[in-house]
Structure 1
């Protein structure tokens, strides 16, 4: 007799209370908490609901953002009881051959394993063992495992498998998979697994087998096609498994779409079953089957040309609501009350009518997955440098370091071998996430002093503050270099960032005098007193606030720029559409001076300050000599500046309108590759 829903919920609550007390008594951590206890409580927050989602059905015509469909965070049951993070916190590696894949997939510890290109597994049908705390992700749409199986042994936990094509271990003539057990993905007695955006096709036995009391599993946005036995769950007498199955496309498959045997909770929604194999089998051609004592809920799915679209054993419970059926026949079972998925997690239902189009577009491998990796600081990596260290040498994908609000007292080094990085503060303001250190240049020069050193190309930083808070007075020093940031890479972008220091706050340089390095600083602030914008890189300060700090002098409080541009480079520093502010007395600050490192005569600084507000602190003769090199031999000009410090004198060269038309942000940054980060 089916127990009334209210009684069952009370019973579950009593079990939860008992298990919670047991957990507390035993001192168990989330990693070893009995899964049943955690599953029966709905989380206080919704982990990884798609972007812009709610717990209700989407209004007619509403489009779900693609970003939500490609979320790097699991949803459903895989998000509960501590969640599924895969290899987060570990090293990122890229593999292109079977030996490397097998090495890292079976290694101890956490790894994010990017699979690039096709890996042909030998011998035919061999298993590749995947151990705990791993993320396997295909790079774009080309990551493939051919003729082989991914296998998770009993006790494996916390695994993510995404964006792969796993194909072609089928043995000719063995349609029922009785000759060889060559599955696509097989797991026994595992917990916390997310299978997402894969294509599984034409394997020797099951495409996906989730077996023997596996728990906390989500299977989403996959394609199962060209096969007999698609997706089986169970092989156990225990009623244990909790599984979410959503937005999958079963196309040209015969059975197990899925077959769910003795699942405690099986939640299926927004799946698309189409073009079922028609071989005249009256029993073993079917869609969804709740077997044994499974409790199954099906919502807003779409069935086309399917025999027995959903069925349940007499011992099972199956609730179906909101689905669309086209040209289906056979069993359409509904029995019992099953469960309410929202007792466990929130989720978004797409309209059933929209499911075919959505699933066709978003299921299977996607170009945007695997090319972009997200590393979280400090959730996954304790320091910013630890996250940088996890990035592979020769990195060829976009890696984002999401840095939570806080003050990180460390020096960060991004070597030239790790390009394509983005550092992003996640606070509400750039001041909320600060990378701070206090090293002067006497300890290793500019590179040793810098709080952050970026030697790689194609690096961006956003919503962050970089600080060198070395205290000269406390060390009885005066005029000591202490860099907040040094760059030598090309195509560097700082957006909504702040740089705080005194002397030499921000150095934008290049690997050598003749190399082109470009830096774009936008909507940011820089403060300092002596030469605090300096170096030989082509650098644009666009819509920035530049604060010239007083040193307490009544005559000379410092220099804003010290450019060392190579003589054949027409573009050095451009400060445009910005504000220079100062707390120094009137007429005590220089706009700049020419820096010739080591007396290099070919370092002839170029600086243009245009369309910028200048404070009264700027001298009437704002350019000055440096180390015996006269400022008149440098390339220092202004154009259309304004404010109390924007007087025009004989010592302030003004650029003509014709020249200014050739000295725009685009001109400075374009280079030979047409780089245009400002557009």
Structure 2
């Protein structure tokens, strides 16, 4: 019989904190464990370690079941050192075959400004293999979702932010998702949806299928890039960012040139493509390269993720 725990802030379940329920799961477990989370705002940093897999996080209601925190890259730790982007997530999922549904993952830290250092604040970081997110929300500003490594699938999810709010080197498929860009108040540069750091040796990176790209009502048209390539300074092997937007509806906020550089990494030398997109933000020009029908044959969940 599948083991099940209930988390409820009012004390009516087995635990009042999400992390306490995860701590109760045995290391090396090979059978599914379901953690049902009642409505409430759970302000805590949550970690599913690599040695714990097959965990199901099931929220009672997506909008009313929220795991949140407000750590950020420029925050100082006990030693007076900045914690950096990689220690800022509200939730770390390092285990594999983890499924989350009907939940909101959030980082509430906000610092205005276009070039403000240290404002990176991750809502969720995932590194495991075979992780799935269904009907979940990911809310933040800069670096909201860190699909760091491994493989992950997002179905019917909502993701919002302003700068690089979907980033990392994972094999990740986003299907029927809403990607919502928040207004930074610029007339021309309001941010970037993606910042893939795919290994050059990997055939695939991020794939967006049947997604809708929206923006705040105040957003200036032609002011948000689809993405830019991220080559981490501490990378251990060559990087060649891979991102495809396929059958997506692009709002008027998407820039006509589509992609831009990050430092010395330029779109022309990366794998940044589109295929049969629609909407006011859809353009076909030399800056926005299109795949052919033959080239997209493997642009499927199974093709990218292998499962």
What is the TM-score when the length of structure 1 is the normalising length? Answer: 0.42
More RCO (CA 8 Å, sep 6+): 2
Q: What's the counterpart of residue 603 of structure 1? A: 239
Of residues 147, 163, 167, the one that matches 1:534 is 167
Of residues 396, 399, 402, the one that matches 2:33 is 399
Pairwise mapping of residues 495-534 of structure 1 onto structure 2 (< 5 A)? Answer: 495-510=134-149, 517-534=150-167
- 2:282 corresponds to 1:638: no
| Distance in 2, Cα, partners of 1:457 & 1:662 | 24
Q: What's the counterpart of residue 97 of structure 2? A: 458
For residues 194-247 of structure 1, give each alpha carbon's deviation from its aligned partner in whole angstroms, at most 9, with x where no partner exists: xxxxxxxxxxxxxxxxxxxxxxxxxxxxxxxxxxxxxxxxxxxxxxxxxxxxxx
Q: What's the counterpart of residue 332 of structure 1? A: none
Q: What's the counterpart of residue 78 of structure 2? A: none
Pairwise mapping of residues 52-451 of structure 1 onto structure 2 (< 5 A)? Answer: 369=1, 372-378=2-8, 379-427=13-61, 430-443=62-75, 444-451=83-90
For residues 446-468 of structure 1, give each alpha carbon's deviation from its aligned partner in whole angstroms, at most 9, with x where no partner exists: 33210100011110100000110
SS at match of 1:560: strand
- 2:119 corresponds to 1:480: yes
Q: What's the counterpart of residue 654 of structure 1? A: 290
For residues 296-317 of structure 1, give each alpha carbon's deviation from its aligned partner in whole angstroms, at most 9, with x where no partner exists: xxxxxxxxxxxxxxxxxxxxxx
Deviation at 1:518, TM superposition (A): 0.8
For residues 237-288 of structure 1, give each alpha carbon's deviation from its aligned partner in whole angstroms, at most 9, with x where no partner exists: xxxxxxxxxxxxxxxxxxxxxxxxxxxxxxxxxxxxxxxxxxxxxxxxxxxx
Of residues 298, 302, 305, the one that matches 1:666 is 302
| Distance in 2, Cα, partners of 1:473 & 1:527 | 16
Q: What's the counterpart of residue 195 of structure 2? A: 562
Deviation at 1:591, TM superposition (A): 0.5
Which aligned segments of 4 or more residues in structure 1 are displaced greater than 3 angstroms? none
| Distance in 2, Cα, partners of 1:635 & 1:661 | 16
What is the TM-score when the length of structure 2 is the normalising length? Answer: 0.92
| Distance in 2, Cα, partners of 1:609 & 1:596 | 20
| Distance in 2, Cα, partners of 1:589 & 1:460 | 31
Of residues 562, 583, 589, the one that matches 2:224 is 589
Of residues 175, 178, 183, the one that matches 1:550 is 183
Q: Is the 8 A contact 1:495 1:523 kept in 2?
A: yes
- Structure 2: runs of 5 or more not aligned: 76-82
- Structure 1: runs of 5 or more not aligned: 1-368, 511-516
Deviation at 1:408, TM superposition (A): 0.4
Deviation at 1:597, TM superposition (A): 0.7
RMSD: 1.6
Q: Is the 8 A contact 1:447 1:453 kept in 2?
A: no
| Distance in 2, Cα, partners of 1:651 & 1:482 | 30
For residues 368-411 of structure 1, give each alpha carbon's deviation from its aligned partner in whole angstroms, at most 9, with x where no partner exists: x1xx1101102111100010111111112111110000110111
Deviation at 1:479, TM superposition (A): 6.2
- Number of aligned residue pairs: give it: 292
Q: Is the 8 A contact 1:550 1:582 kept in 2?
A: yes
Shift in alpha-carbon separation, 1:632–1:615, aligned structure 2, 3 A: same
SS at match of 2:233: helix
From the two aligned structures, give the one with the greater helix fraction.
1
For residues 328-383 of structure 1, give each alpha carbon's deviation from its aligned partner in whole angstroms, at most 9, with x where no partner exists: xxxxxxxxxxxxxxxxxxxxxxxxxxxxxxxxxxxxxxxxx1xx110110211110
Q: What's the counterpart of residue 621 of structure 1? A: 257
Deviation at 1:478, TM superposition (A): 5.8
| Distance in 1, Cα, partners of 2:40 & 2:265 | 44
Q: Is the 8 A contact 2:72 2:118 kept in 1?
A: no
Q: Is the 8 A contact 1:591 1:623 kept in 2?
A: yes
Shift in alpha-carbon separation, 1:531–1:541, aligned structure 2, 3 A: same
Shift in alpha-carbon separation, 1:441–1:479, aligned structure 2, 3 A: closer
Deviation at 1:599, TM superposition (A): 6.1
Of residues 197, 209, 214, the one that matches 1:576 is 209
SS at match of 2:103: strand
| Distance in 2, Cα, partners of 1:394 & 1:576 | 34
